[in-house]
Chain A
Amino acid sequence: MKQSLRVMVLVVAVGATGGLLASGGDESRGRLPAVTHAQWQAECSACHLAYHPGLLPERSWHRIMAGLDQHFGENASLDAATAADIDRFLAANAADRSDHRRSRRIAGSIAPGAAPLRISDTPWFVREHREIAAATWRRPKIGSPANCAACHQGADQGDFSERRIRIPK
């Protein structure tokens, strides 16, 4: 009797831990909520990763979308209807409109009056990447901090968890 009780407790404990890992493990906790928007995906990912809207606050996205004709030195202009549609999507899912842990930290790291245009200019990003040397960013397979997917294997699914980082040589 005592023996079987012990086995039962063990089974329940293992089962509960498994369930906890599946629902609250690194993967699902670290991953930004899945978002889809056909035009955002198609237009933004032509030149770079379609950066998850939860990586910048709403005011930053409005600034970016209002200046697409001079987008980091490049003309990325869209027709007005497409630009407005993508702008609405970005704003609705922006970091300061999200309750996701990572998004809240990003939004919280930015001064109220600031609207950075680069994710890599947010204090959160700088802090998280403080161990990366300037020479590492310049490696041919990386190029610049714009290239999230070079090191973050799950970047296109909004997964920036520590265990999915592989820094190319």
Chain B
Amino acid sequence: MADLPLLLLLLWALAAPALAADPRSMLRELEAQARAANPAFKGFSAERGAAFYRSERPGGDGKPVACASCHTPDPKAVGRTRANKDIQPLAPGANRERFTDPAKVDKWFRRNCNDVLGRACSVEEKGDFLAYLISVK
């Protein structure tokens, strides 16, 4: 019986990493980063995120490219990779697995920001983008 608190602590420790990662907690994490970098930070905007998602930039092969090129203009829809494979919806409202694994989120921001923007995304861009995806119902 004396082991019960220890057991609970162990269970908490095991469950904590899984609980820590969901779209809203990731958004709060980005907010904290944005605020730390810029004391005048006014908060993320789903509207700016929507514009960011759709705005086209010149791609590597000369063709315009946007997030929406592969993920489709509707983040709730199934997209398609350049190799013609399905991409499951990006909006957490349509795909519960999205924004639950920080390593996966980091990996794809790193790759896709480079592909679409030719540089890394700023914290503000990531936050606006995520705020938009969370807002899509």
Contact = CB atoms under 8 A, between A and B. Distances in A.
Contacts of A48: 81, 83-85
B60 A47 contact: no
A47 B114 contact: no
B82 interface: yes
B86 to A, nearest CB: 11
A77 B110 contact: yes
A75 B115 contact: yes
Chain A CB count within 10 A is highest, among B60, B85, B110, for B85
A144 B111 contact: no
Chain A residues touching B, range: 10 to 19
Contacts of A147: 83-85
B71 to A, nearest CB: 13
Contacts of A13: none
Interface string A57-97: 00000000000000011111110000000000000000000
Interface in A114-166: 142-144, 146-147, 150
A47 B85 contact: yes
A71 to B, nearest CB: 10
Contacts of B61: 73
Interface residues of B, number: 13
Interface string A39-53: 000000111110000
Given A73-B60, A73-B61, A142 B84 contact: yes
Nearest to B81: A47
Contact of B111 (A72, A75, A146): A75
Contacts of B83: 47-49, 72, 143-144, 146-147
B82 A74 contact: yes
Contacts of B81: 46-48
A82 to B, nearest CB: 10
B85 A49 contact: yes
Contacts of A146: 83-84
A75 B84 CA distance: 16
A76 B111 contact: yes
Nearest to B113: A75
Interface string B109-122: 01110110000000
B111 A143 contact: no
A77 B111 contact: yes
A74 B115 contact: yes
Contacts of B82: 47, 72-74
19 contacts: A45-B85, A47-B82, A47-B85, A48-B83, A48-B84, A48-B85, A49-B83, A49-B85, A72-B82, A73-B60, A73-B61, A74-B115, A75-B112, A75-B115, A77-B110, A143-B84, A146-B83, A146-B84, A147-B84
Interface of A: 45-49, 72-78, 142-144, 146-147, 150
Interface of B: 60-61, 81-85, 107, 110-112, 114-115
